[in-house]
Amino acid sequence: KKTIRDIDVRERRVLVRADFNVPLDADGAIADDTRIRASLPTIRYLCERGARVILCSHLDRPDGVVVERLRLALVANRLSVLLDRPVAALQDCVGPEVEGTVAGMNNGDVVLLENLRFHPEEKVDDPVFAANLAGLADIYVDDAFGVSHRAHASVVGVPEHLPAVAGLLLEKEVDTFTRILEDPERPFAAAIGGAKVSDKLAVLEHVISRVDLLLIGGGMAATFFASRGYGTGRSRVETDSLDAVRDLEAKAAERGVRLLLPRDVVVAEKLEPGVPVRVVPSTAIPDDRIVADIGPGAADEFCRALAGSRTVVWNGPMGVFEVPEFAEGTRRIAAALATLRGTTVIGGGSTADAVGMFGLADEMTHVSTGGGAALAMLAGKPLPGVEALDDAGDP
C-alpha cells in the first residue's frame, strides 16, 4: 500500500484518521496516552513538510450522540503539549463551521475534529457523512491501526473520495504482523491467553500452522483442561469450543507443533484481591476453586521453552493480572520476553496494558496499539481500513 512517504503533502489539507481512543480515569482525565504518542511520528512528518493537518478520531462508544466527557478537547490539549504546537479542538467533525476553520488553516497547522462517533453515520459508513468528511481535505491518511478492522465511514468511506495512504504507525503495525506471520525467524512461538477461548479461536487456528511452539494460558486454559478430561472446578469452560480445542490439539500433534498447557495453576474461590490462593497441578483442580493464573511450575516451563525462540508473539494475559495475587504468571512471561534475543510482538489490549504495568513496554520489539485489529491480523483476516488504501503501484 502507498504511505505518506509516497506523496507530496505540501500546502495540502490532509485528513488523518487516528485512533485516540484512550482510556479515561474516574475523573475523566487521560489514564494512558500511549495511543496519542504513537501517532506523533505521522503528525510531525506531515507538519514538517508543510501539510495542513486535520486529525480525526473516535473516543469510546458514545452511540451517535454528544457525550460531554467524550469530547476530544482533552486529547487536543495533550497533543499540543507533546507536539509543542497549538492543536485546535473543533466542536464538530463536519458542517459549515468546521469547513470555515479548515479554510483558514496555514501550512503546518494542526486541528482535531470532534469525536466522530457523536454522529450515528460514522459507524454505519453513511456515504453522505463520508463525503462531507472527505470534502474537508485533499488527501486521506489512515494511521488508526486500532480501528482498521471496522468498516466505518472515516475508515473505509472517506478513502473512496480521496488519494488514500497509510501513516507511519499503520504501516509499522501491518508490516510487523505480516512479517512474523509470513516469514518469521524460527523457532517461532505464540503465547495465547485471556479469559475466553472463543475470542481467540480464529487466532489459534491461524497460528497453529505457522508456529513451532504454542503456549496456552489464562482463563481459557480451563477449556483445554476440560477437553483433556481434567476437572476444572468452577472455572469457565466454553463447551461450544471443546471440539475446536480438540481439533487444535490434533493439528498441533500432526504438524509437530509443541503445544504446552500450564502444568500447574493458581486457584482461588474468587477472582478478587485478598483471597487465599493455592497452587495445584492442573490435573487436580479442587471443585470449589477457579483458575486465576498459571502456576510457578508452568511459568518456569513456559519461560524455558520461550528462551530458545527467535520470534514470539503474545496475545492475552496468563492470569487475572489486574489482581496482584494473580499477576505473577503474566509478569514472568513479560520478563522472559523483555530479555529475549529475538523479535517480540505484543498484541494490543490487555496484553499491552500488562506489559505497560510491569514497565517493560520499551523492552519489546513492538507493542501493538490495536486490540481487535491485532486479533484480526493474527487471525489472518483482511483489515477493511488497509484494503481501502491506494496500492503502491497506483498513479
Query: What is the spatial distance between Cα 196 and Cα 36, in angstroms, rounded to a whole number?
Result: 29
Dihedral of alpha carbons 354, 195, 19, 324, sign: negative
Residue 228 as a binder of ligand 3PG (CB under 6 A): the answer is no
> Cβ contacts of residue 362 below 8 Å, gap of 6+?
none
232 and 283 Cβ atoms separated by less than 8 Å: no
Give min distance, CB of 373 to ligand 3PG, in A. Answer: 7
Q: Which is nearer to ligand 3PG, 25 or 287 (CB)?
A: 25
Q: How far apart are CA 323 and CA 166, in angstroms?
A: 38
From CA 330, how far away is CA 317, in angstroms rounded? 6
Tell me how far apart the alpha carbons of residues 386 and 384 are, in angstroms, rounded to a whole number: 5
Residues with a catalytic annotation lie at: 35, 196, 349, 372
Task: For the CB of residue 25, give the shortest distance to ligand 3PG in the complex, in Å.
Answer: 16
168 annotated to bind ligand: no
* Beta carbon nearer to ligand 3PG, 72 or 221: 72
Q: Which of 5, 61, 69, 255 binds ligand 3PG (CB under 6 A)?
A: 61
User: Is residue 64 close enough to count as binding ligand 3PG by CB under 6 A?
Assistant: no
Helix, strand or coil for residue 81? helix
Residue 35 assigned ligand-binding role: yes
Minimum distance, C-beta of residue 16 to ligand 3PG, in the bound complex (Å): 15
**Binding mask of the shown chain, residues 12 to 41, with x at each position contacting ligand 3PG by CB under 6 A:** -------x-x--------------------
Q: Is 4 helix (H, G, I), strand (E, B) or coil?
A: helix
Residue carrying the nine cell digits 496555514:
106
Confirm if 312 and 191 have CB atoms less than 8 A apart: yes
- Give the residue nearest to ligand 3PG (CB): 21
What is the smallest separation between the CB atom of 157 and ligand 3PG, expressed in angstroms? 15
Are 59 and 115 in contact, with CB atoms under 8 Å apart? Answer: yes
Quick one: which of 146, 167, 262, 316 contacts ligand 3PG (CB under 6 A)? 146
Should residue 119 be labelled a site residue for ligand 3PG when binding is judged by CB under 6 A?
Answer: no
C-alpha cell at 384: 477493511
Minimal distance in Å, beta carbon 61 to ligand 3PG? 5
The answer to whether the annotation marks 238 as part of a ligand binding site is no
| Residue of 370, 378, 390, 392 whose CA lies nearest to 150 | 370
372 forms part of the interface with ligand 3PG (CB under 6 A) = yes
Closer of 150 and 289 to ligand 3PG (Cβ): 150
Which burial class, exposed, middle or buried, applies to 248 when counting CB atoms under 10 A from its CB (0-12, 13-18, 19+)?
buried
Choosing from 4, 15, 147, 388, the residue that interacts with ligand 3PG (CB under 6 A) is: 147
Binding residues for substrate: 19-21, 35, 58-61, 117, 150
Where do contacts with ligand 3PG occur on this chain (CB under 6 A)?
19, 21, 61, 146-147, 150, 371-372
